[in-house]
A and B are shown apart, each in its own frame.
Chain A
Amino acid sequence: MFDRVIYSNWHVIFPIAAFVVAAVIFGAMCWRALRMQRGQVEHFSRLPFADDEPPAPPHE
């Protein structure tokens, strides 16, 4: 009942290649993120506050 699909052997290259690509890029990005300098982290996390817009008018 579960022996249901025939797929040609060459198809298996796709999931394996995809796994490898995913693992390599994801691993590289994680490594870089974990190794970010403190100053860089501070700079990026403060970007939303760099617009020096006035606050909203207060509720009376």
Chain B
Amino acid sequence: MSDRKVTVEYNDRVVRQFLLAAVGWGLVAMLVGVLIASQLNFWPLNFNRAWLTFGRLRPLHTNAAIFAFVGNMMFAGIYYSTQRLVKARLASDLLSALHFWGWQAVIVAAAITLPLGLTRGKEYAELIWPINLAVTVIWVVFAVNFFWTLARRNEPSLYVALWFYIATIVTVAMLYIVNHLSLPTSWTHSYPLFGGVQDALVQWWYGHNAVAFFLTTPILGIMYYFVPKAAARPVYSYRLSVIHFWSLVFVYIWAGPHHLLNTALPGWLQALGMTFSLMLWTPSWGGMLNGLLTLRGAWDRLRTDPVLKFFAAGVTFYGMATFEGPMLAIKSVNALAHYTDWIIGHVHGGTLGWNGFMAAGMFYWLAPRLWNRPLHSPALANLHFWIGLVGILLYVSAMWTSGITQGLMLNATAEHGTVLVYPNFLDTLNAIRPMMLMRVLGGGLYLTGFVLLAYNLGRTIAGAEPVNGTIEVFVEARPGPLGVRGTVLNAPVLFSGLALLSACLWLFTGGALNLLGLFATIIFVLLAIAHYQARARHWGDWYDRLLVNATPFTVLTFVAVAVGGLIQIIPTLTVERAANVEDRLEVPYTPLELAGRDLYIREGCYLCHSQMIRTLVPDVLRYGDYSRLGESIYDHPFQWGSKRTGPDLAREGGKYPAAWHYDHLLDPRATSVGSIMPRYPWLFAQDTDVAALKRKIDVLRTLGVPYPAWSASDIAAAVERQERQIAGDLRAQQRLVAPEKEVVALIAYLEKLGQSTPVAPQIASRPGSP
């Protein structure tokens, strides 16, 4: 073993940069959150400005909270802990700087484009395609910087926190790339490759696993490093952390369909999503208990140490959210909770409690060490904790009450389930107004706490000299790399692979092959057991070398997360679309209706209005026949929605005359007393972008929508015909508007909703059926 002694100076400059950026963007995210929550109580706070409406700002809030606040915090924690766990400086100062400045540039681009209405119309994936490319480049920079650092490490063992970081990097890359696959129609607009149910599945495979692998796994890695450091106690059970990691990365990926329960998503996918979401409770609580029990022997310090307060509460909120989530994923519970504020409460218990409090604890722990100056005021940090905690509890309890009230009222039926007790949607809105106000108060308190944090940290670092950590290491001889041969050609992998192949032979074939498969499976399992008994050390050696070999470990982690996605997505993508539309097939939008639909997406209407009538009696009584899978098959992106602040619009077409929509968009209170919807006066002033339709329709035709090969003049003529027809209808009802205005296109779209062509349904085939 070499006895060469080396002094390593860590790159803590980039850690300080990410920390400060996280604090700044966190305040922005929370301020926008309080604003949009206030808009739901006082609609004039939309200020009649397009760029300030709820529909434009809500994506700004979610993107800022997830990618700007938690993103920057995550990078700070990962870079600080990774360097110290591997006892090596970050591999490249250039890549570190590129990562930091590139990420901030992406955030600024998002802050500009989202209020302008430049959006892809998919939740947590709204950013337009040039910014998507930038995010991908920056993520690759991050990945190279991280894995290069691992390759240069002076500590051969990979601590469990690093496993979580590896899982984050590979999985986020996979999720982001797949859900952002699009065909551009212009520099600022694109349509996703997937449409209808396929887009719904890909979107929520991504959406839920953005929660899993952006908001959970990196913070768990941070928990496994910073909680032991803060408590001066090793993790409670390292064995449990290993089991926690592998069970989490396998199970989480399958949970996406729980966002689509009781919808037109195929039933087997809903069942998978529900089952795996329930299974997810166990590894999540394993991690929670591991984190909390790490504080054993240090509980008395919770009284005075704000860092431990934040960590203990943060991990507890993680446990709460990961119990609530599986409960909400039960189909019958979801029938009440979906589309209501309960889901919002669940989300914010996780983001404010788990992400926000872990961030605060980490910031308070890091700042004195990074600037070599004691925290300005531990008392102020303690006050932040209590204000923030009260804020979270007010927020969450308000949303629980609001959501359950909404769910009960909207689902209430009488006369043996044949009539709705509350047929007017606005009745539920009026009932939850006090809770929505309480939500503003809770969020405001939480923001106040973070303002205190910013002040406290500012006073701590003002005039202080930043310091970089150092360590002296003996460069150790490392076991040779496993390589492909070592990873694959060894007993554990070979026996597992052979047993798997035999099992497939047994399960999918008949006759002699079936028997052969059965016997082969039994033999390979017995041989594996015998080999293990005889050569246990060989199996152990392979596993031990896996623990210190980042590449094979990364590959196995990728296999683990890809498996869950593949089994859900491949069948849905390859299913014969035309044969699976049940008894209705969507009529493709006319050019004017397509323009209107893109306006609907631009204004963020899908954030308050769903287009998916669930297979539930109250939904059918309120909105009409349940939505068929085929009715949205050509929607790129899908518009099923995830929240009903307003009513579902799946069968809106034909319900109201054009004049009603005209009045409703000009002033929602004119048609719906008590509505909180913003006004949209700019739709009456701006012209519909007809020139863009040619390219849009060409792209949709490429994506499989059965449009004829229209020329630009064909499209313009069709648009003009339909515009004149709608404007004429409006004029007959004393509503005057020039035909080329955007409101005419939006009315065309709204009047189309629910139109479909009846088709002969095909019978589902089952194994063994004739």
Binding site for B on A (CB under 8 A): 1-9, 11-18, 20-22, 24-26, 28-30, 32-36, 40-41, 43-53, 56-60
Q: Would you call A44 and B228 a contact (CB within 8 A)?
A: no
Q: B267: which of A2, A22, A49 is its contact (CB, 8 Å)?
A: A2
Q: Would you call A59 and B375 a contact (CB within 8 A)?
A: yes
Give B233-268 as 1s and 0s: 1 = Cβ < 8 Å from A's Cβ atoms: 011001100110011001000000000000010111
The answer to whether B220 has its CB under 8 Å from any CB of chain A is no
Set of chain B residues within 8 Å of A6, measured between Cβ atoms: 575-576, 579-580, 762-765
Set of chain A residues within 8 Å of B373, measured between Cβ atoms: 57
Closest 4 CB pairs of A and B: A33-B242, A18-B567, A45-B234, A11-B571
Q: Would you call A51 and B471 a contact (CB within 8 A)?
A: yes
Mark out the residues of chain B between 203 and 245 whose CB falls within 8 Å of any chain A CB in the assembled complex.
Answer: 224-225, 228-229, 234-235, 238-239, 242-243
Q: Which residue of chain B lies nearest to A34 when distances are taken between CB atoms in the complex?
A: B239
Taking A7-B580, A11-B574, A32-B543 as contacts, is the C-beta distance between A24 and B499 under 8 angstroms?
yes
CB distance from A12 to the nearest CB of B (A): 8
Q: List 13 A-B contacts (CB under 8 A).
A: A17-B500, A24-B500, A32-B242, A33-B242, A35-B540, A40-B544, A43-B157, A45-B235, A46-B234, A50-B155, A53-B471, A56-B369, A57-B368
CB distance from B629 to the nearest CB of A (A): 7
Set of chain B residues within 8 Å of A43, measured between Cβ atoms: 157
Cα(A28)–Cα(B496), bound, Å: 9
Q: Would you call B765 and A29 a contact (CB within 8 A)?
A: no
Set of chain A residues within 8 Å of B378, measured between Cβ atoms: 59
14 extra interchain contacts, Cβ-Cβ under 8 A, other than A5-B268, A11-B571? A6-B575, A7-B575, A12-B767, A14-B570, A20-B500, A20-B504, A22-B563, A26-B247, A33-B243, A36-B242, A43-B157, A44-B160, A51-B471, A52-B471
Q: Which residue of chain B lies nearest to A18 when distances are taken between CB atoms in the complex?
A: B567
Set of chain A residues within 8 Å of B157, measured between Cβ atoms: 43-44, 47
Q: Would you call B500 and A57 a contact (CB within 8 A)?
A: no
Set of chain A residues within 8 Å of B85, measured between Cβ atoms: 47-48
Q: Would you call B492 and A28 a contact (CB within 8 A)?
A: yes
Q: Would you call B246 and A29 a contact (CB within 8 A)?
A: yes
Set of chain A residues within 8 Å of B500, measured between Cβ atoms: 17, 20-21, 24
Taking A25-B560, A28-B492, A56-B368 as contacts, is the C-beta distance between A7 and B571 under 8 angstroms?
yes
Q: Would you call B272 and A21 a contact (CB within 8 A)?
A: no
Give B561-579 as 1s and 0s: 1 = Cβ < 8 Å from A's Cβ atoms: 0011011001100111001
Set of chain B residues within 8 Å of A14, measured between Cβ atoms: 566-567, 570-571
Cα(A40)–Cα(B156), bound, Å: 13
Most buried by B among A18, A26, A53: A18
Taking A2-B267, A44-B160, A56-B374 as contacts, is the C-beta distance between A8 and B250 under 8 angstroms?
no
CB distance from A30 to the nearest CB of B (A): 5
Taking A11-B575, A53-B84 as contacts, is the C-beta distance between A21 and B229 under 8 angstroms?
no
The answer to whether B503 has its CB under 8 Å from any CB of chain A is yes
Taking A15-B567, A48-B159 as contacts, is the C-beta distance between A5 and B764 under 8 angstroms?
yes
Taking A7-B571, A8-B575, A50-B87 as contacts, is the C-beta distance between A16 and B507 under 8 angstroms?
yes
CB distance from A10 to the nearest CB of B (A): 9
Q: Would you call A41 and B239 a contact (CB within 8 A)?
A: yes
Set of chain B residues within 8 Å of A52, measured between Cβ atoms: 471
Cα(A2)–Cα(B502), bound, Å: 34
Taking A6-B576, A16-B507, A51-B84 as contacts, is the C-beta distance between A25 and B556 under 8 angstroms?
yes
Set of chain A residues within 8 Å of B469, measured between Cβ atoms: 51, 53
Q: Would you call B250 and A59 a contact (CB within 8 A)?
A: no
Set of chain B residues within 8 Å of A11, measured between Cβ atoms: 570-571, 574-575
Cα(A41)–Cα(B155), bound, Å: 16
